Amino acid sequence: MKRDKKLRAGVIGAGAIAQACHLPGYARNKHVELAAFADPAMARHREVAGAFPGLRGYRSYQDMLKAEDLDVVSVCTPNSYHANATIAALEAGCHVLCEKPIATTLKEADRMIAGARAARRKLMVGFTHRLYSGPGTCHEMLAKKSVGKPFMIRVRFAHGGPYPGWAKDKWFYDPKLAAGGAMLDMGIHAIDLCLWLMGPIAAVSAKAATLVKKIAVDDNAVLLLEFASGALGYIEVGWTSKPGFVGFEIYGTEGSLICDYLHSLRLCQGKASAGTDSSDVWTILDANPATGGWSVEIDRWIDVVLGKEKLTMTGLAGRNALEVALAAYRSSKTGKRIALT
Ligand SMILES: NC(=O)c1ccc[n+]([C@@H]2O[C@H](COP(=O)([O-])OP(=O)(O)OC[C@H]3O[C@@H](n4cnc5c(N)ncnc54)[C@H](O)[C@@H]3O)[C@@H](O)[C@H]2O)c1
């Protein structure tokens, strides 16, 4: 890859997330020439032609990788195709940004990580919540021990579900294509944030259930996390509850961070005990903590490819989050607490 030439980008899967984030992100970035996309659905070809006139479209990603001399590729297909599409793009010499979850099994994730190593190419996973301003500030503050020792995290991510409304079809509800429901789809973001903010998870107990939608995967889930540090955490995710708190709260021995995506990121300084030494001093750190995410993802990814920014949303980070999510499904099925190695 020559630095004086633009990076040639391609997108595999041209559905909702490709159209909302990846295609416009590459088209906007000054270091990139958006070259092509691949999607078997003709409806996507018509939609993309409307937004990106003249962009070359292929029905198969294998054909696209053969015909185009690409440097970077985004994989935005249903989950069960992530591994093969990513490995094919790596083998074609491309750096790959793969959507979350990295894959549907740990074996696939391992093959992807090995594929990146063998091809000497970068593999990034689209954990876009890390790219919001609020979580970024929390990450910095935790590193500086600004709230003392964090002992509890609570995360809630919920919306009305991917279809109808967001995704181009119902694959999110097909266990073969999605490999899980709300717990994998939204839970993977929550789990990744927990790992990123609080460190390794030693054990998980969970219950995933289909409470409202008539679908073959879970539409609600609750996870109880035990961190290696001794801290506890819980995650609630749902595809059936649009209103309510969305974000996370971290409680530390010297203060708390309330990252309410819809309102603000607030810091409450002071001891967390209920005694006379407790305090209630609130500071608004960010009035719009969900700024960033998709709108900055491709620029950050290109900076990673160009070596201007360190790769942190690695294949291993994707694997670590997937490991917890799959263990959570095992816990839900067996009723047992699952220890992670
Ligand atoms: N980072 C985020 O916040 C975020 C948000 C939404 C979706 N996602 C992820 O992005 C991926 C896509 O989700 P979506 O919402 O765009 O779904 P979607 O249904 O809107 O789009 C998926 C597209 O993939 C295409 N496709 C299917 N098989 C293919 C193949 N073999 N090769 C190429 N294309 C193929 C479909 O025709 C469709 O156009 C999923 O893994 C999802 O979890 C991430």
Domains and CATH numbers, the chain: 7-125 (3.40.50.720), 129-290+322-339 (3.30.360.10)
**Single pTM value for the model:** 0.97
Ligand 1 binding pocket mutation candidate from 64, 168, 192, 322 (most atoms within 8 A of CB): 168
When pLDDT is cut at 50, 70 and 90, the band that residue 272 belongs to is low
- Ligand 1 centre to CA of 77 (Å) is 4
- Ligand 1 centre to CA of 304 (Å) is 23
As a residue count, the chain comes to 341
- Ligand 1 centre to CA of 333 (Å) is 27
Ligand 1 binding pocket mutation candidate from 11, 23, 39, 84 (most atoms within 8 A of CB): 39
Q: What is d(CA 18, CA 328) in angstroms, rounded to the nearest whole number?
A: 28
- Ligand 1 centre to CA of 287 (Å) is 31
Tell me which of 244 and 184 has the higher pLDDT: 184
Distances (CA, A) of 239 to 16, 95, 130, 210, 247: 17, 32, 21, 10, 15
Residues 111-135: tens digit of each pLDDT? 999 999 999 999 999 999 999 999 9
Contact, 204 vs 338, CB < 8 A? yes
Residues 67-102: tens digit of each pLDDT? 999 999 999 999 999 999 999 999 999 999 999 999
- Ligand 1 centre to CA of 76 (Å) is 4
Q: How high is the pLDDT of residue 279?
A: 67
- Ligand 1 centre to CA of 13 (Å) is 6
What atom of ligand 1 comes closest to residue 17's alpha carbon? 16
pLDDT at 270 over 80: no
Instruction: Find the residues whose C-beta lies inside 6 A of ligand 1.
Output: 12-18, 38-41, 44, 61, 76-79, 81, 99-100, 126, 128, 166-169, 171, 185
pLDDT at 223 over 60: yes
- By C-alpha distance, which of 81, 54, 58 is closest to 68? 58
> What DSSP letter does each residue of 184-202 carry, written as one string?
HHTHHHHHHHHHHHH--EE
- The residues, any chain, with a CB within 8 Å of residue 48's CB and separated by 6 or more, are 14, 19, 23, 37, 39, 55, 57
Q: How high is the pLDDT of residue 51?
A: 95
Contact, 223 vs 332, CB < 8 A? no
Q: Which residue's alpha carbon is at the smallest distance from atom 37 of ligand 1?
A: 41
Tokens 């903590």 label which residue? Answer: 289
Q: Which residue's alpha carbon is at the smallest distance from atom 38 of ligand 1?
A: 15
Q: How high is the pLDDT of residue 273?
A: 62
Q: What is d(CA 223, CA 158) in angstroms, rounded to the nearest whole number?
A: 14
Residues 15-55: tens digit of each pLDDT? 999 999 999 999 999 999 999 999 999 999 999 999 999 99
